[in-house]
A = this chain, B = another copy of it.
């Protein structure tokens, strides 16, 4: 969830931590009440389906927030992974501070409500696109949602996020460049 409006209140007493490219922050089976605010670098969350295929739910470059909401809502272990695509510096928002709403201060709750609304809006847009747009249209929208990210991360990850194969994305990019 995007946060270029810096979430000062939520971050006020969050500690920093560094991860190396490839480090896994959360794996299936883990239980986590932690959320990460990315200061530098890029994280991703993804699931692995029954056929062993990876599906990327979200990228989190600078200014984005990423977490395992399902685990936090259901108070049970996660079915998703979060890992670092680049060397990344995060601020860690602990569960006690953040995801047991009862103990949060009102101004922090307000910030949360607003962040959640944005995330819901983003996800709704993605649902509509998956339903109605072609691979090419979705790739173009990816570039609007995550400016410049296409130059930083492997194409196969973009393909996974778009819900197409790397081969198809390669062809889509070819079409865009040759003609347009």
Interface size on A, residues (CB 8 A): 33
Asked if A180 lies at the interface with its beta carbon under 8 angstroms from chain B, I say no
- B117 and A69 within 8 A (CB): yes
Contact B121 A113 (CB under 8 A): no
Judge if A20 is at the interface, Cβ distance under 8 Å: no
Question: In the complex, which of the residues B49, B102, B110, B128 contacts A57, with contact meaning CB atoms closer than 8 Å?
Answer: B128
A28 CB–B CB distance under 8 Å: no
A131 near B55 (CB under 8 angstroms)?
Answer: yes
Q: Which 6 residue pairs of A and B lie closest in terms of their CB atoms, listed nearest first?
A: A131-B163, A116-B116, A123-B123, A130-B130, A101-B110, A109-B109
28 residue pairs A–B, Cβ–Cβ below 8 Å? A47-B128, A49-B128, A49-B132, A55-B132, A57-B127, A57-B128, A69-B124, A70-B124, A72-B117, A73-B114, A73-B117, A73-B121, A101-B110, A101-B114, A102-B110, A104-B110, A106-B106, A109-B110, A109-B113, A116-B116, A116-B120, A119-B120, A123-B123, A123-B124, A123-B127, A127-B127, A127-B130, A131-B163
* Interface residues, chain A, with chain B CB atoms under 8 Å away: 47, 49, 53, 55, 57, 69-70, 72-73, 101-102, 104, 106, 109-110, 112-114, 116-121, 123-124, 126-128, 130-132, 163
